[in-house]
Structure 1
Amino acid sequence: MVVVLASQTAGTPLQLPVRHADGVRAGRGRRLISHSTSAGTAKGTIIAGGLAALLDDIAALAKLAAASIDDVGAAAGRASTKALGVVIDDAAVTPRYVGGITPARELPIIWKITKGSLRNKLVFILPAVMLLSVFAPWALTPLLMIGGTYLCFEGAEKIWEFVTGKHHAEAPPAVERGPDQEKTLVGGAVRTDFILSAEIMVIALNEVSAESIWLRLGALIVVALLITALVYGVVALIVKLDDIGLALAGRENGASRRFGALLVGAMPKVMTVLSVVGTIAMVWVGGHILLNGIADLGWAWPHDVVHHMEQAVAGFMPFWPGFFAWLTNTFFSAILGFIVGSIVTGIIHLIPKRPR
């Protein structure tokens, strides 16, 4: 108990402890309260400091995650650019599989092929190339060169078919093959996609082979999703453009009718341009892969010659030196790709075909 007396001189209250039977316990209680308050303050300070450290760690992790996403995006962008030739060819080839299909079944079939393409990339090819990059990275360059040689062969064969006028016999439209052929058609498209997807993923892996395993995995997943969406989104648009054109051509509005007729008339030309660009891109990308691959395997002089030509052209051009250096590399890569592809084409056509 405390008695408070007013001090007349100082004007401040004086607190005098009054002793009673519980005095000792009261004094100890005050000491315990004081100690408990100090401990609580210290504990609160520790909690606040820990919370601040946790928030700082979360901010650092967020920055790291953002940087990792940027790295994955940049790596995926590099990888996707290198696979451009295969992507264009894939977009040019796939619409042929829905030739003769009724309009109502075109998009469902493209969706089935899209799902098969994703399954190819994510379920079969991605684990295989990731295991390859971890346990047998030395095999990446030879495999890449095999894929590059196949690209050169595909491109050169199409060029020679155009020059000589000899083409593969095309399959009849799906309508003529009967209603049970849809499953066979989708299966054939998915098998063709497997080859192209394997080339895309190996090319992409080669571009990010120096990165960490998680960055490689993330980049390849992004590449698989991005390229599949791009290819089959474009394919769906190409396939339905003529239907859109026909719908517009049937309207009463003169501008709509003219635009619809323009779309319908332009589609064969668009397919031709896609096919030509895809063929050139295959020869160029395949030749570029071979040019870099033989340098990695120790035969560097072709790559060095092309590199010196790039530098010479870039130094000579007063504007856009980087573009013309790239164009020089592309030109010589395409020449190499066409030569190698022509040799493989000749060998393939010399092999006697077994009678069916």
Structure 2
Amino acid sequence: MATGLIALLDDIAGIAKLAAASLDDVAGQTAKASVKAAGVVIDDTAVTPAYVVGLSPSRELPIIGRIALGSLRNKLIFLLPLCLLLGYFAPWLITPLLMMGGMYLCFEGAEKVYEAVFPHASHDAISVDATTDQTKLETQKVSGAIRTDFILSAEIMALTLAEVSTSDIYTQAAVLAGVGILITVAVYGVVAMIVKADDVGLHMVKTGHSFLKFVGLGLVKGVPVFMKILTFVGTAAMLWVGGSIIVHGLAGLGIHQPEHIIEAAKHAVETAVPALPAVLGWFTASLLQAALGIVLGGIVVAVITFGSALRGNNKSGAAH
């Protein structure tokens, strides 16, 4: 009896150890996959604050909350099952789909550069006139934000799936869910702090003592500058991540030349400059991947711009 009890306890301890190891594995893979998706996360964080511009400050946090819930729905209800089905029945599709997502990121990054050089109406712009009530405008902006989030979330989940494609389906599901929740909370938590920082600063200027007024003034003046920096970083991250995905995807399809060229340039820089070789090597590779991204994205922007101009000319000719 005693021996049987000891054996049972030993089995329970073994199961507990396996469960703990599995949880550690899921946690480790979740963290690793989240880092891989960092470029897309930065872009998501940079894009979202624009959706509360022009609305009442009292509605900023509720709007971000609605977008965050929509983002969770995108990731957990739609994309997670789709990724599991894809990984189980058609894992060969992961690389091509990732490359399509990479091309989209290159296009988005190149379009932002194009808009900065040649300002024009953004494709996400929402027309607002005197008759547009705030409730309708809020609904339009939330819907637009959730649609944009779906694209970025799909890229995040696809990157995550690629990281855990060799794991069993239960680990895949746990990691995909973990990454989806972790990134959504992180992104929209940061966005909430960003959009309310200037309001907090203004309150500190009005009600605080000298030091708090100084900090508050810094927030009021610093948030717009920070937003510009974040937009620049988000654009750079899109181009870098998009170019990186294309390079690795081509290598996975047997086309290794772009990857070899980047690796050779990285090695040359590390050899030529002994100070901080790892940092300079990473920067060199990222810069070349971003350069490829802007070239590929620029081609897509040029094709779309030419197509739009051609359609406009055809409509004009038809009208005459």
Aligned residue number for residue 222 of structure 2: 266
Higher relative contact order (CA closer than 8 Å, sequence separation 6+):
2
Q: Secondary structure at the match of 1:250?
A: helix
Aligned residue number for residue 32 of structure 1: none
Q: Does residue 1:242 correspond to 2:195, yes or no?
A: no
Aligned residue number for residue 92 of structure 2: 138
* Distance apart, 1:316 and its partner CA: 3.8
Normalising by structure 1, what TM-score? 0.82
- 8 Å CA contact retained: 2:44, 2:187: yes
Q: Does residue 1:125 correspond to 2:79, yes or no?
A: yes
* Distance apart, 1:174 and its partner CA: 9.6
Distance in 1, matches of 2:44 and 2:129, equals 20
Distance in 1, matches of 2:78 and 2:46, equals 24
Amino acid corresponding to residue 71 of structure 1 in structure 2: D
Aligned residue number for residue 30 of structure 1: none
Change in 2 beyond 3 A, CA 1:86/1:252: closer
Q: Root-mean-square deviation (CA), in Å? A: 1.9
Distance in 2, matches of 1:211 and 1:313, equals 36
Aligned residue number for residue 54 of structure 1: 8
- 8 Å CA contact retained: 1:99, 1:174: no
* Distance apart, 1:252 and its partner CA: 4.7
Amino acid corresponding to residue 234 of structure 2 in structure 1: G
Task: For 1:174-323, list aligned pairs within 5 A.
Answer: 177-181=132-136, 182-323=138-279
Distance in 2, matches of 1:296 and 1:77, equals 24
Amino acid corresponding to residue 99 of structure 1 in structure 2: V
Identity rate, percent: 49
Q: Does residue 1:161 correspond to 2:111, yes or no?
A: no
Distance in 2, matches of 1:163 and 1:296, equals 35
Task: For 1:25-64, list aligned pairs within 5 A.
Answer: 47-64=1-18
2:106 pairs with one of 126, 143, 152: 152
Aligned residue number for residue 10 of structure 1: none
Change in 2 beyond 3 A, CA 1:297/1:264: same
- 8 Å CA contact retained: 2:202, 2:216: yes
- 8 Å CA contact retained: 1:145, 1:289: yes
Render the CA deviation track for 1:116-157: whole Å, top value 9, x for unaligned: 110000000000011000100001100000000000000011
Render the CA deviation track for 1:2-36: whole Å, top value 9, x for unaligned: xxxxxxxxxxxxxxxxxxxxxxxxxxxxxxxxxxx
Unaligned runs of 5+ in 2: 316-320
- 8 Å CA contact retained: 1:114, 1:228: yes
Render the CA deviation track for 1:290-329: whole Å, top value 9, x for unaligned: 0000111111111122223323333444343322222222
Q: Greater CA deviation, 337-346 or 157-166?
A: 157-166
Tell me how many residue pairs correspond in the alignment: 309
Distance in 2, matches of 1:179 and 1:334, equals 39
- 8 Å CA contact retained: 2:126, 2:141: no
Bigger radius of gyration: 1
Amino acid corresponding to residue 287 of structure 1 in structure 2: G
Render the CA deviation track for 1:96-135: whole Å, top value 9, x for unaligned: 1111222222111111111111000000000001100010
Amino acid corresponding to residue 207 of structure 1 in structure 2: E
Distance in 1, matches of 2:67 and 2:284, equals 37
Change in 2 beyond 3 A, CA 1:319/1:74: farther
Render the CA deviation track for 1:254-307: whole Å, top value 9, x for unaligned: 111121111011111111011000000000000000000011111111112222
Aligned residue number for residue 318 of structure 2: none
- The structure richer in helix per residue is 2
Unaligned runs of 5+ in 1: 1-46
Amino acid corresponding to residue 235 of structure 1 in structure 2: V
Distance in 2, matches of 1:297 and 1:172, equals 43
- 8 Å CA contact retained: 2:26, 2:174: yes
